[in-house]
A and B are shown apart, each in its own frame.
Chain A
Amino acid sequence: GQNIDQPTEMTATEGAIVQINCTYQTSGFNGLFWYQQHAGEAPTFLSYNVLDGLEEKGRFSSFLSRSKGYSYLLLKELQMKDSASYLCAVRDPTNAGKSTFGDGTTLTVKP
């Protein structure tokens, strides 16, 4: 089975940097996704990691350590519009159709 842990809530200040952590315990590994979800809206894709290391995409970066079962999403130069939930998800390595999501981290950006 798959188990994913994320902090429930985080608060940060506009212009700052915030790191959202995700740990997973899975029977295998086939890649880790980060999605952003604004209140009342659908999740949208942010990043994908399958190999160890850092993937950078503009203000957002995602890091993966497969040996530690650990990932983080790094948001730089925070803007008010970054207030949202951030979902960590893994795909089942033996069944591409199955996905497990963490409960999400609600980030509040304050002025």
Chain B
Amino acid sequence: EAQVTQNPRYLITVTGKKLTVTCSQNMNHEYMSWYRQDPGLGLRQIYYSMNVEVTDKGDVPEGYKVSRKEKRNFPLILESPSPNQTSLYFCASSGTPGGTQYFGPGTRLLVL
């Protein structure tokens, strides 16, 4: 089954404790993105990747890092999480430039 998976689905952590949210897709897509979704603010793009070893900032990259060492994986790293990073995070992939995005199930993060 074609899908985008994220882990963990739910995470509670404390300020400053490094964490990684994994994202994997099995559709051989070149394009992958991370978004955060907050009430009243919609989906905002954090980082995106056009291919292996090619990443760039979206609209809200501060406090986040990403890597793209393999085509299928695009982890999101929070080196020192803060409470304002409490949010719902979605990973997405697409097979063509500007094409339809397929979203993972989401990761709900609470930073205390």
Contact = CB atoms under 8 A, between A and B. Distances in A.
A12 B105 CA distance: 28
Contact of A87 (B33, B42, B98, B105): B42
A91 B98 contact: yes
B109 to A, nearest CB: 14
A100 B101 contact: no
B48 A98 contact: yes
Interface stretch (A13-21, A40-48, A66-74): A40-48
B84 interface: no
A110 B97 CA distance: 39
Contact of B103 (A31, A44, A48, A91): A44
B42 A31 contact: no
A43 B43 contact: yes
B31 A42 contact: no
Interface string B34-54: 010000111111001110000
B105 A42 contact: yes
Nearest to B103: A42
Interface residues of A: mostly helix, strand, loop or mixed? Answer: loop
A33 B41 CA distance: 18
A35 B43 CA distance: 11
Contact of B98 (A41, A45, A96): A96
A101 interface: yes
Contacts of A11: none
B79 interface: no
Nearest to B100: A45
B42 A30 contact: no
12 contacts: A42-B90, A42-B103, A43-B43, A45-B100, A45-B101, A87-B42, A95-B56, A99-B45, A101-B42, A101-B44, A103-B42, A104-B42
Interface of A: 30-31, 33, 35, 40-45, 48, 87, 89, 91, 95-104
Report the 4 A-B pairs with minimum CB-CB distance, sorted nearest first: A96-B97, A103-B42, A42-B103, A101-B43
